[in-house]
Amino acid sequence: MVAPPRITLAGRIAYRAFALRRRVVRSNLRRAFGEGLTEAELDRLAQAFYSHLLLSLWEFVNSAFMRTASRKNRVRVEGKEAVLEAMRSGRGVLLLAGHLGNWEIACSDGILNFPELRGHLHVIRRPISPSWLDRCVRERFHRVGIGTIPKKDSMRTVLNRLASNDVVAFVLDQSTATSEAVRVQFFGTVAWTLRSLAVVARRTKATVIPIATWREPNGKHVLRFEAPLTNLAGNDLNEAIRLNTQLYNDTLERLIRGHPEQWNWIHRRWKRDD
């Protein structure tokens, strides 16, 4: 695990001020890293997370006043050829995403450096609270050519987008109802995870490409498309879904470990252990 970045004064204050969420953050970190962290290290990593969270909020607000050229210059895009190559199959592309880094800024500004995807990238997302913030996020995406697909009853829309050889991003690191999920591991603990990405990949044969987003010490963001994942066959449909969903979680875990202070530890990812 890499060392966390410099902890800001605002991050320290937020860590001390929000006792309820602090317990959630510390519990998640302890669950993920176990005894690999001392209490002092856990405190520092939690404070680094709050520093990242507050900086992300500031970046979101400040970006409304930035020129397009400045927004474009603050994101570096890597691995574009992996997506373009997958699109040549004509079956569309599936992106495996998580809440790592300031992923909304990295995606909305990063696509300014990837014009081939403008109008062809769609993100499946749940509404967030408050509603004004949800509206701001959607409008920001739409202005740069990123479509949004409401998570509820999204399957038909997803299949239509793939049939048009578009790119659809699944955000897979949130807790979900067990009726829509499969029981797999995440950081060594059971985490019910959406089965939909594995189901769609098996049905359409579309390539699954992980994306990683993070902020570098100089304040710039990276949007990286990684090498495509192998579609695991399994002995039957249920096993194939479980194996591939576990692969997706393992991939997200690897990416998070690279920048542990920049994942969404405030989210109650592990709501059930059974």
Q: Residue 29: is its pLDDT beyond 90? A: yes
- pLDDT tens digit sequence for 177-186: 778 899 999 9
**pLDDT above 70: percentage of residues in the chain:** 97
The enclosing H or E element of 119 equals: none
Q: Report cis status (omega within 30 of 0) of the bond before 4.
A: no
Quick one: pLDDT band at residue 1, thresholds 50, 70, 90?
Answer: very low
- 30/53 Cα distance (integer angstroms): 19
DSSP string, 26-85: HHHHHHHHGGGS-HHHHHHHHHHHHHHHHHHHHHHHHGGGS-HHHHHHTEEEE-HHHHHH
Backbone angles phi, psi at 152, to 5 degrees: -65, 125
Q: So what's the pLDDT on residue 272?
A: 60
Q: Residue 2: is its pLDDT beyond 60? A: no
Q: So what's the pLDDT on residue 239?
A: 95
pTM of this structure: 0.93
Question: How many CA atoms are closer than 13 Å to the CA of 31, on its beta-carbon side?
Answer: 21
Q: So what's the pLDDT on residue 234?
A: 82
- 257/265 Cα distance (integer angstroms): 12
On whether the CB atoms of residues 145 and 121 are closer than 8 A, the answer is: yes
On whether the CB atoms of residues 225 and 83 are closer than 8 A, the answer is: yes
Q: Residue 176: is its pLDDT beyond 70? A: yes
Q: Residue 269: is its pLDDT beyond 80? A: yes
Point out the least confidently predicted range of 44-48, 99-103, 137-141: 137-141
Point out the least confidently predicted range of 20-24, 26-30, 168-172, 216-220: 20-24
Average pLDDT rounded to a whole number, residues 202-231: 96
Contacts 24+ apart (CB under 8 A), 16-22: 21/266, 22/46
- pLDDT tens digit sequence for 143-169: 999 999 988 889 999 999 999 999 999
Q: So what's the pLDDT on residue 138?
A: 85
Quick one: pLDDT band at residue 125, thresholds 50, 70, 90?
Answer: confident
Sign of the alpha-carbon torsion through 86, 231, 77, 143: positive
pLDDT mean across residues, the chain: 92
Q: So what's the pLDDT on residue 273?
A: 55
Q: So what's the pLDDT on residue 19?
A: 78
Sequence spans of domains, the chain: 9-59, 69-262
- Token pair in block for residue 72: 């474009």
Q: So what's the pLDDT on residue 107?
A: 94
If phi > 0 it is left, if psi is from -120 to 50 it is alpha, else beta; for residue 205 that is: left
- pLDDT tens digit sequence for 45-94: 999 999 999 999 999 889 888 999 999 999 999 999 999 999 999 999 99
- The residues facing 149 across adjacent strands are 124
The enclosing H or E element of 96 equals: strand 93-97
On whether the CB atoms of residues 109 and 183 are closer than 8 A, the answer is: no
- 217/151 Cα distance (integer angstroms): 34
Give how far Cα 239 sits from Cα of 78, 96, 206, 234, 246, Å: 33, 19, 19, 5, 10
Spell out the alpha helix ranges (H) of the chain. Answer: 9-17, 19-33, 39-62, 68-73, 80-87, 103-110, 131-143, 155-163, 196-204, 237-258
